[in-house]
Chain A
Amino acid sequence: MEPDRVVLGIESSCDETAAAVVDSRRRIRANVILSQHAQHSPFRGVVPELAARSHAERLDLTVQEALRQAECPWEALDAVAATAGPGLLGGVLVGTVTAKCIALVHDLPYIAVNHLEAHALTPRLTDCLDFPYLALLVSGGHSQFVAVAGVGQHALLGTTRDDAAGEAFDKAARLLGLGFPGGPAIERAAHDGDPDRFPLPRPLAGQAGADMSFSGLKTALVHVVARQGARPLDDGTRADLAASFQKAIVETLADRLEQAVRAFRRLHAAGTVVVLAGGVAANQALRARLSGAAADQGMRLIAPPAHLCTDNAAMVAWVGLERLADGTVSALEEPSRARWPLAGGSV
């Protein structure tokens, strides 16, 4: 039997500074995340979301905290993995340079991880999923359907032509005077709202191909809000607007999923699983609706737990374990990249 392997993962490509320790038995031994939204971080203060400086100031503490929680000394590690893109380059560099230094000092393999692949492979960590499967990655920065055939083997089936789904949530929340991040704020407000009060468009509904579009939906909401007059929105109307907007996003993604399944089946006739990942996957209404939509297509929907859908380092450590098993570790010269598509153009 193959001995246990232990990998340290580092994530610093966006707002979160995160480090995690995961082993090849799929145990998440530590998963430390610092963000400005964190309520209970072991360190005081706010992390400015943009500043690479704040990642630099906090990453070493975050790594030490992860190793402490995992009760894992340096010499017990088998590799160190870091998100090397896509993301804000300053933050990405902090993570990769830290990981490379650790690799040099402790004589460990370094693994440069694509952030999107880390989201896409998370259900292999949480649900022991086999390849191939169809993944819908939805977050503040990305919305794409990907056929996942293996580690490093991905085909893009469709992507957003304008805004990402999470971005649409953020902008709608701002418009409705709700908080940031917008996804959870809209979901809370929508809870008591009537999703059918305000008819909103379903962009690209029924059209072939698995591309998405959310910019027009945002603009439609702008017009609906403008028609409510100059007075501030009352809570009931705001709840109805949030519920109607959430339904529009959810129904649009359900429609697009149907098309994506068709494209996926042309590549992998035997595939039966749809994975929902990325920050927007934390939305319960989306999970429930896509679960039904997948079942209608004879597919099963798997969504990792919400805390592993939003940005975290456990998913990065997991890709490290997959790559270690594959023997495809990175050279220390491997670059960090602000843009790093998971796969080539639409198929």
Chain B
Amino acid sequence: MGPSPESAATSGRRLLLPDIGATEDFAAGLAPLARRGDILGLMGPLGAGKTTFARAFIGALGGSGVVPSPTWPLVECHSTGAGDVWHFDLHRLEHADEVWELGLEEALADGISLIEWPEIIERLLPPARLMLRLEHAGTGRTVILEPGATWGSRLRSVTGDV
């Protein structure tokens, strides 16, 4: 089952993702819209599907297939048809400044960045970003899209906006 528009949240669009396949379809639909320099923040509690989203996103761009969780290494870089996709997991970070040691500057300059647990570095991120807030909803999930500048018009194909 694919994602379906539900209702517009105050801060962005809310989509219902009834099962893990819907999360994967949503990610695969969003992936071709991303360009070098883009930042996607993945927020939400444990098990909400942040890494599932990232895995499907990287897979849709032709990544190598194996997308290990970056929780332990903190960042994994994947070569894809759309350039490098940097997959960060910042949960273990204690200070925002530590992110520079992970190569954030390089990622922002050259590639597409998927950032799990981005809250700690929110002030460091440029406004042209797309924040995705995943939440548990029964056995499914919801995702709230909070698009920054340059994102709004690109999202029509996934949110169903006319």
- On A, residues with C-beta under 8 Å from B are 14, 48-52, 86-88, 90, 139-142, 160, 162-164, 166-167, 170-171, 174-175, 215, 218-219, 221-223, 226, 338-339
What does DSSP make chain B's interface, helix, strand, loop or mixed?
loop
B84-111 vs A: 1/0 string, CB under 8 Å? 0000000011100010011000000000
User: Given A48-B94, A50-B98, do A166 and B72 touch, yes or no (CB 8 Å)?
Assistant: yes
Contact A171 B51 (CB under 8 A): no
Complex Cα–Cα for A13 and B64 (A): 24
User: Given A48-B94, A50-B93, do A162 and B72 touch, yes or no (CB 8 Å)?
Assistant: no
Complex Cα–Cα for A51 and B102 (A): 10
Instruction: Give the total of B residues in contact with A, Cβ under 8 Å.
Output: 21
Known: A86-B73, A164-B68. 18 other contacts (CB 8 A): A48-B94, A49-B92, A50-B74, A50-B92, A50-B98, A50-B102, A87-B73, A90-B101, A140-B71, A140-B72, A162-B51, A163-B69, A163-B71, A167-B72, A170-B71, A171-B46, A218-B47, A223-B47
Write the nearest CB–CB distance from A345 to chain B, whole angstroms.
9
Q: Which of A48, A50, A162 has the most CB of B within 10 A?
A: A50
What's the count of A-B pairs with C-beta under 8 Å?
66
User: Given A167-B72, A222-B136, do A215 and B52 touch, yes or no (CB 8 Å)?
Assistant: yes
B45 interfacial contact with A, CB 8 Å: yes
Complex Cα–Cα for A90 and B52 (A): 28
- For chain B residues 43-67, which have a beta carbon within 8 Å of chain A? 45-47, 51-52, 55
Chain A residue numbers with a CB within 8 Å of B102 are 50
Complex Cα–Cα for A164 and B51 (A): 13
Chain B residue numbers with a CB within 8 Å of A52 are 101
Contact B72 A164 (CB under 8 A): yes
Complex Cα–Cα for A50 and B75 (A): 12
Complex Cα–Cα for A170 and B139 (A): 23
Complex Cα–Cα for A223 and B52 (A): 17
Contact B69 A215 (CB under 8 A): yes
Measured CB to CB, the nearest residue on chain B to A86 is B73
Complex Cα–Cα for A170 and B73 (A): 14
Complex Cα–Cα for A233 and B59 (A): 38
Contact A222 B73 (CB under 8 A): no
Cβ-closest 5 pairs across A and B: A141-B72, A219-B47, A222-B47, A140-B72, A163-B69
B121-142 vs A: 1/0 string, CB under 8 Å? 0000000000000001001000
- For chain B residues 112-162, which have a beta carbon within 8 Å of chain A? 136, 139
Complex Cα–Cα for A221 and B136 (A): 13
Chain A residue numbers with a CB within 8 Å of B52 are 215
Complex Cα–Cα for A37 and B120 (A): 23
Measured CB to CB, the nearest residue on chain B to A166 is B72
Complex Cα–Cα for A231 and B121 (A): 31
Write the nearest CB–CB distance from A29 to chain B, whole angstroms.
30
Contact B71 A167 (CB under 8 A): yes
